């Protein structure tokens, strides 16, 4: 009667496959390292004053076709006074215009 090979015969590891596993682990560590570094440089698209963030919706054309789209707030990096000390924060232009932020000179 026909049967499947035993697990240890079916999955024999050679030196070559072990080297591939090591290279893949190194590659994953490399990717994780770069993702962590990239997060430091990304500027959040969230206003620190009013918490305005990306809004999601759909475009609807005349023929009623719908496509996804986003609306991003106009975020600026502004030096402002927070708790008596100047600090750089992300603020939307509406908060700057309405005077919710006191600018540091």
Measured at the CA of 86, the angle between CA 81 and CA 91, to 5 degrees, comes to 60
SS3 for 14-71, per residue? Answer: CHHHHHHHHHHHHHHHHHHHHHHHHHHHCCCCCCCCCCCCCEEEEEECCCCCEEEEEE
Say if residues 32 and 18 touch (Cβ distance below 8 Å): no
State residue 45's pLDDT score: 85
In tens digits, what is the pLDDT along the chain, a chain of 105 residues? Answer: 555 555 555 445 555 454 554 455 566 676 666 666 554 444 678 999 999 999 999 999 999 999 999 999 999 999 999 999 999 999 999 999 999 999 987
pTM for the predicted model, two decimal places? 0.54
State residue 101's pLDDT score: 93
Paired tokens of 28: 């994953």
CA distance 37 to 31: 10
Give the distance from CA 35 to its chain's centroid.
9
């Amino acid at each position: 009667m026909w049967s499947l090979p035993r697990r240890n015969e079916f999955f024999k590891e050679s030196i070559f496959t072990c080297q591939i596993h090591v290279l893949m682990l190194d590659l994953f560590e490399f990717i994780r390292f770069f993702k962590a570094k990239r997060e430091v440089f990304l500027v959040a698209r969230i206003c620190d004053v009013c918490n305005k963030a990306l809004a999601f919706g759909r475009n609807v054309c005349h023929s009623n076709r719908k496509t996804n789209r986003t609306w991003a707030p106009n975020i600026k990096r502004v030096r402002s006074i927070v708790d008596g000390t100047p600090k750089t924060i992300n603020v939307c232009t509406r908060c700057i215009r309405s005077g919710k932020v006191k600018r540091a000179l």
